[in-house]
């Protein structure tokens, strides 16, 4: 599966230059993290990829890509439907077994009948994650999925995500402004510049996700920072 | 406590009625017990039930037509700016056309028929429903819309699970104000051109200067509408807002 982009110019108000000459390719099953400063157009890029934004120059090719699972920055659940209904509505074809396993893995089994308004933000984000995974997507897109959670909770959710992706590999595009998070989760880290966003560094990480030690993470981190300075 | 307050307030109203009746005389304002007796007599002859049923049927049909059309048109106007610009002048005209003019014209153009009566009532209610639903359609959450797009929800699922729940409070407001508006207009329509129904009976009583009967029919119908409000509208409202009632 490949995603190719050429230069995008997104108009918001006047012709604001948000993205500039980006060319990104994802290999099948690869987890890629896009890292960049706030407001550099990461979210815009995701919106273009999933087809929510059509006013741009360039092209997106999603080869062999049927379904997309999207985790928005905010959970975006339907407040008038229960947790279970929220997930089922997005993934009407999902089997009982898949849903049950997903709810169990994310610790949501006890909350199936609750309404989103009764959930904490951490739980609501889990539901959003469950919804995106329930469609068994060919492409999983995560837009800062752990932002505004306390560090401990974010760490736990990250581990859960790693476990779930290990269980059923899926091509994943993760957007974050947190380099540590990117290094922890991704097979490849792409560093974006400030707006208009350009690719500053593209660093593959060889070690499998679950075996990375703290020292290694720090080393990779340094390497990425260095390569971005050279660029 | 709430109930005590309500009963007390009702008792006070009855007391004032009784007092007024003694002050202006039973011809102009008959005593409550006389009105109650008239209701019972009408009910025994079967006339009350018949007329209530006829009027209620007209209310139900015209209300349903107005709500359905109002929801469809209001939703379209709220979602499609071009259609909104086109249809808005028509809406303003309809909103400001007096109920009486619509009724009289309907009877002239379509004859003194049931169809004309129901169309006239529905047409009176329609613009109000459109305006309320349009307001709701304009306030629809764009972020949820995007969510539905990304997850490729079907048109029907979107309408049922994304759009309609957001419109529910607006639909409830339109229904509530609409129900009281519709039944008042139905009475006028019956008075002007129907051979039966509560409006017709009140018209006859008016010609005979029979205040007892006027009050009897009015009271009976108010009770029916109150029952519909508490037994149908309120439980429905509670059901559609059940997710709201339990805060985190």
- Residue A95 confidence (pLDDT): 85
With pLDDT > 70 as the criterion, what percentage of chain A qualifies?
82
Q: What confidence tier does A39 reach under pLDDT thresholds 50, 70, 90?
A: confident
Chain A residue nearest residue B153, CA to CA: A90
Distance CA B124, CA A56 (A): 47
Does the interface predicted TM-score (ipTM) exceed 0.90? no
Say if CB B78 and CB B138 are below 8 A apart: yes
Say if CB B99 and CB B124 are below 8 A apart: yes
Domain residue ranges of chain B, discontinuous segments joined by +: 34-240
Residues 113 through 172 of chain B touching chain A, CB cutoff 8 Å: 143-144, 146-147, 149-153, 157, 161-162, 165, 168
Q: What is the span of the domain harbouring residue A211?
A: 1-66+186-231
Secondary element (H or E) of residue A199 = strand A199-204
Distance CA B146, CA B126 (A): 31
pLDDT (tens digit, 9 = 90+) per residue, A66-125? 788 899 988 999 999 999 999 999 988 888 888 998 898 888 889 999 999 888 888 999
Chain A residue nearest residue B168, CA to CA: A80
User: Cα A76–A80–A82 angle (5° rounding)?
Assistant: 85
Say if CB A141 and CB A65 are below 8 A apart: no
With pLDDT > 90 as the criterion, what percentage of chain B qualifies?
71
- Residue A13 confidence (pLDDT): 45
For chain A, how many structural domains are there in total? Answer: 1
Q: Nearest CA of chain B to the CA of A136: how many Å? A: 11
User: Cα B151–B157–B160 angle (5° rounding)?
Assistant: 135
* Contact check, Cβ <8 Å, A89/B246: no
Q: What confidence tier does B138 reach under pLDDT thresholds 50, 70, 90?
A: very high
Q: What pairing do the DSSP bridges indicate for beta strands A68-71 and A31-35?
A: unpaired
pTM score, whole prediction: 0.77
* Contact check, Cβ <8 Å, B157/A89: yes
Whether residue A81 lies within 8 A of chain B, CB to CB, comes out as yes
- Assigned CATH class of B34-240: mainly alpha
Buried-exposed string A180-215: b where 16+ CB fall within 10 A, e elsewhere:
ebbbbbbbbbbbbbebbbbbbbbbebeeebeebeee
pLDDT (tens digit, 9 = 90+) per residue, B9-37? 989 999 999 999 999 988 889 999 999 99
Q: Considering only CA atoms, which of A190, A148, A181 is closest in space to residue A46?
A: A190
A106, part of any domain = no
User: Cα B197–B200–B206 angle (5° rounding)?
Assistant: 140
């Amino acid at each position: 599966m490949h995603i190719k982009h050429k230069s995008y110019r997104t108009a918001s108000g006047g012709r604001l230059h948000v993205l500039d000459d980006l060319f990104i390719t994802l290999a099948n099953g690869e987890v890629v993290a896009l890292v960049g400063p706030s407001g550099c157009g990461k979210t815009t890029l995701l919106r273009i990829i999933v087809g929510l934004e059509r006013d741009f120059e360039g092209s997106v090719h999603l080869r062999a890509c049927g379904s997309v699972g999207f985790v928005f920055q905010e959970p975006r659940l339907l407040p008038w439907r229960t947790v279970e209904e929220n997930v089922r509505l997005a993934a009407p074809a999902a089997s009982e077994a898949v849903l049950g396993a997903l709810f169990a893995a994310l610790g949501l089994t006890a909350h199936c009948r609750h309404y989103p308004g009764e959930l904490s933000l951490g739980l609501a984000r889990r539901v959003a994650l469950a919804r995106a995974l329930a469609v068994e997507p060919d492409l999983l897109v995560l837009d800062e999925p752990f932002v505004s959670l306390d560090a401990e909770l974010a760490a736990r959710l990250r581990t859960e995500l790693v476990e779930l992706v290990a269980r059923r590999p899926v091509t994943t595009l993760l957007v974050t402004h947190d380099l540590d998070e990117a290094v922890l989760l991704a097979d490849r880290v792409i560093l974006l510049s400030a707006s208009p966003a350009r690719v500053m560094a593209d660093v593959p990480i060889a070690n499998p996700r679950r075996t990375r030690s703290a020292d290694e993470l720090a080393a990779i981190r340094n390497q990425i920072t260095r390569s971005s300075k050279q660029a | 406590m709430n109930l005590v307050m309500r009963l007390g307030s009702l008792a006070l109203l009855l007391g004032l009625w009784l007092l007024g009746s003694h002050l202006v005389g039973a011809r102009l304002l008959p005593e409550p017990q006389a009105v109650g007796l008239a209701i019972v007599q009408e009910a025994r002859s079967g006339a009350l039930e018949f007329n209530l049923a006829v009027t209620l049927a007209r209310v139900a049909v015209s209300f349903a037509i107005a709500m359905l059309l109002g929801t469809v048109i209001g939703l379209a106007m709220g979602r499609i700016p071009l259609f909104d610009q086109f249809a808005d002048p028509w809406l303003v005209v309809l909103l400001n056309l007096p109920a009486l003019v619509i009724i009289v014209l309907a009877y002239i153009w379509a004859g003194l028929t049931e169809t004309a009566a129901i169309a006239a009532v529905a047409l009176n209610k329609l613009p109000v429903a459109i305006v309320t639903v349009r307001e709701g359609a304009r306030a629809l959450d764009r972020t949820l819309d995007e969510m539905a797009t990304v997850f490729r929800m079907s048109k029907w699922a979107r309408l049922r699970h994304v759009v309609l729940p957001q419109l529910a409070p607006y639909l409830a407001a339109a229904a509530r104000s609409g129900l009281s508006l519709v039944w008042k207009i139905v009475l006028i329509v019956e008075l002007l051109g129907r051979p039966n129904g509560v409006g017709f009976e009140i018209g006859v009583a008016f010609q005979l200067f029979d205040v007892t009967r006027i009050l009897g029919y009015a009271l009976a119908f108010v009770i029916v509408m109150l029952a519909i409000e508490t037994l149908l509208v309120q439980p429905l409202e509670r059901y559609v807002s059940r997710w709201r009632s339990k805060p985190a």
